[in-house]
Structure 1
Amino acid sequence: MTSVITAEMRASRQSRRDGSKKSRQKGQGGLSALFLSPALIIIGVFTLIPMVLTFIISFHQWSMFTPITEMKWVGLENYATLFEDSNRIQAMGNTAIYVAASILITVPLGLLIAMLLYFPKLRGQSVVRVILFSTYVIPTIAIVIIWSNIYAPGYGPLSTMLQATGITPPGWLSDPSWALISLVIFNVWQMLGYYVILLVAGLTQIPGDLYEAAKIDGAGIVRQTWSLTIPMLRKTLVFVLLMTFINSIQVFDPIYLLTQGGPAGSTNMISYEIQRSAFSYGLAGESSALAVTLFMAIVVVGVVLGVVLKGRNK
């Protein structure tokens, strides 16, 4: 009988502890919500509400030169006409080439530089990292001023070096065949340092004992990179790949400041076409449909990369 009473008393005390713990958790949850509410309000006002409005406007015909109350419902018409405009089709093609070229150049080059900065224990590595990262934090307008002179025909450094070797320099930003390539080079130079820092941070998470074991087994640098570094760095590489995709597909400042989508539409991208359709032509509905399509493309790529990464980790 005594044992039964003792067990009941223990169960009662445990129940009171669980109830007290739950009440504390509820109190902490309410306190957390209170502290997070200003940030959530700001995110809602400046991010979620504009996104919802953009989605709603994409189903309407509306000129930005008229009040928003004059919007006219057109359903999916704006989406159906996206591929009927030659300028938008060209912008999508240019964007695809720009994104693919940026990824194919930036990710392997960033990995190579990160490994060169991390594995050889040399003096001055921190200084080199700071210099590389500075290209990312410097305002784009300042970088554009420098690169507009680098690409300048006749007196620019690139043209001068080619002329000195007897090669006729192309019109870097004025030739439709070279303008898009010139923007890719600009993008790689500007963003490379940011990705290198991310990859170096990922390399620091790989245990050094694994490399020692690989050396003992006779694995060379190439074998270590392919069988050890890249698999262990998979999460960081996927993140860098995703960030390269997002930053490249959303490119706007260099186009607006260097080429304005020209020459002959060779550097017109989706992001620039959205801005031009909305603010130059007043086609808010069509530009919103294009913006929603761009957003969905980013979401799809992000989901696919997440699924691939999750499948590899199983």
Structure 2
Amino acid sequence: MIQRQRSLIRSRSLTTLGFLSPGLGLLIVFVAVPILLTAWISLHQGSMAIPYSRMRWVGFSNYATIFEQPIFRTALLNVFLYSLANLVIILPLSILLGLFLYQAQVYGRNVLRTVLFLPYMIPTVAVAIVWGYLYEPQYGPLNEILSWLHLPAQGWLGSVHEAMLSLVILNVWQTLGYYVVMVVAGLTEIPQEYYEAAALDGAGWWRRHWSITLPLLRRTLAFVFVILTINTLQVFDPVYVLTQGSPVNSTDVAAYEMYITAFNYGQAGLASAMAMVMLAIVLVLSLLQLRLFRSL
């Protein structure tokens, strides 16, 4: 009897391992191995054009070098500001739009959800090209609209003070629908009986959502918060297509700085050190955010 139970447990374990092995294999090959290789390169000096065996060991000097560079510190500051601006705008909007699309009796709300989600399906490069035309300072539609309203034209991507905000607006337009869909999915798991009981007790709209919706939506909001932070900290495409870090490095971000360091300057070790620093920052921020939401 005991042997039969052991064989059954062993058979189930092997079956589970068989189902998991393809996914685990892909994770190891396409995630774990590149991370370990990047960490190894970050401790060496050499270009992308030479074999790994010819790279010279330099230890942690690459990490010291990148933090001594003002341009990398500026890129880190810019990407933090970009991420923070997106969080401040997208998180409240996704909650409000999610509540509106889920609870309001709106005709064609499924169509509205689809329309909101569609920009997320468009490649970021294509979105950036279109918005580059919209931001065109002389004949762009946005400045034309401002002229109709008798407002001064804006520099948009050509202005030191407006370039980063222009990239934030682009990202909000493209990705907001994705996070709204996530919020709507979380709202579907909240029993309507809670709202009915609160209404019978005299709770108003604000009180019901403050005391019921937000606490029960905590896990969904934690997911949105973490994914939004990760996605914005690794921004690259719109910067590469539209600004290349200009004007005056006001839109230079960490991912773009990695790219030009590796492929324009041929310094693979420095670029890999930057990548490992960003990986550490993303991991720490994600763990802190998850811990924060668990304690609420």
User: Which residue of the partner structure matches residue 7 of structure 1?
Assistant: none
User: What is the alpha-carbon distance in structure 1 between the residues aligned to residue 294 and residue 87 of structure 2?
Assistant: 21
1:228-243 matched pairs, under 5 angstroms? 228-243=212-227
* Partner Cα separation in structure 1 for residue 89 and residue 286 of structure 2: 20
- Residue 275 of structure 1 and its aligned partner are, at CA, apart by 1.0
Are 1:115 and 2:99 matched, yes or no? yes
TM-score (norm 2): 0.96
Quote the residue 1:283 is aligned against: 267
Alignment-derived partner of residue 194 in structure 1: 178
1:301 aligns with one of 280, 285, 289: 285
- Which of the residues 225, 240, 252 maps onto 2:236? 252
| Alignment partner, residue 15 of structure 2 | 31
The amino acid that maps onto 1:176 is V
Looking at structure 1, the residues matched to 110 and 215 of structure 2 have their Cα atoms a distance apart, in angstroms, of 26
Equivalent residue number for residue 59 of structure 1: 43
* Matched residue SS, 1:31: helix
Give the TM-score normalised by the residue count of structure 1.
0.91
Aligned counterpart, 2:66: 82
Give how far 1:82 is off: 1.9
Q: CA deviation at 1:235?
A: 0.8
Paired residue for 2:82? 98
SS of the residue 2:158 aligns to: coil
Question: C-alpha distance in 2, partners of 1:279/1:288?
Answer: 12
Letter in 2 for 1:201: A
AA paired with 2:180? Answer: V
Q: Where does structure 2 lack aligned partners over 5 or more consecutive residues?
A: none
Structure 2 distance, partners of 1:303, 1:78, is 26
Amino acid at match of 2:131: W
Cα shift at 1:42: 2.7
Aligned residue type for 1:157: P
Q: Distance in 2 between matches of 1:204 and 1:99?
A: 28
Quote the Cα distance in structure 2 between the aligned partners of 1:86 and 1:305. Answer: 28
Residue matched to 1:9: none
Secondary structure at 1:173's aligned position in 2?
A: helix
User: Distance in 2 between the 1:109 and 1:310 partners?
Assistant: 22
Residues 129 and 241 in structure 2, CA contact (< 8 A), matched pair in contact too: no
Contact 2:116–2:176, Cα closer than 8 Å, also in 1: yes
- How far the C-alpha of 1:113 sits from its partner, in A, is 0.6
Partner of 1:184: 168
**Residue 181 of structure 1: CA displacement?**
0.4
Q: Please state how far the C-alpha of 1:41 moved relative to its aligned partner.
A: 2.6
Q: Which residue of 1 aligns with 2:114?
A: 130
Deviation at 1:230, TM superposition (A): 0.7
Q: Which amino acid aligns with 1:101?
A: A
Q: Structure 2 counterpart of 1:280, which letter? A: N
| 1:158-209 C-alpha deviation (Å, 9 max, x unpaired) | 1011111222211111111111000000011111000000000001111111
Report the more deviating stretch, 217-226 or 241-250: 217-226
Correspondence for 1:6: none
Give the structure 2 partner of residue 271 of structure 1.
255
Give the Cα–Cα distance (whole angstroms) in 1 for the partners of residues 295 and 148 of structure 2: 53
Larger gyration radius, structure 1 or structure 2: 1
Question: In structure 2, how many angstroms separate the alpha carbons of the residues matched to 1:58 and 1:134?
Answer: 39
SS at match of 2:157: coil
Aligned-partner Cα distance in 1 for 2:144–2:40: 52
Question: Which stretches in structure 1 are left out of the alignment for 5+ residues?
Answer: 1-15
160-169 or 95-104, larger mean C-alpha shift: 160-169
1: distance between equivalents of 2:193 and 2:20?
42
Q: After superposition, what is the alpha-carbon deviation per residue over 1:29-83, rounded to whole angstroms, capped at 9, x for unaligned?
A: 2133234333333322222111101011111112223332221111111111222
Which residue of 2 is the match for residue 13 of structure 1?
none
| 3-state DSSP of counterpart to 2:93 | helix
Stretch deviating more after TM superposition (187-196 or 43-52): 43-52
Q: Percent identity among equivalent residues? A: 43
Q: Could you tell me which amino acid in structure 2 is paired with residue 243 of structure 1?
A: I
Aligned residue pairs total 296
Q: C-alpha distance in 2, partners of 1:250/1:242?
A: 13
Q: Quick one: distance in 1 between partners of 2:93 and 2:238?
A: 21
Alpha-carbon deviations, 1:105-126, whole Å to 9, x = none?
0000111111111111222010
Amino acid at match of 1:267: T
Offset, 1:210: 0.7
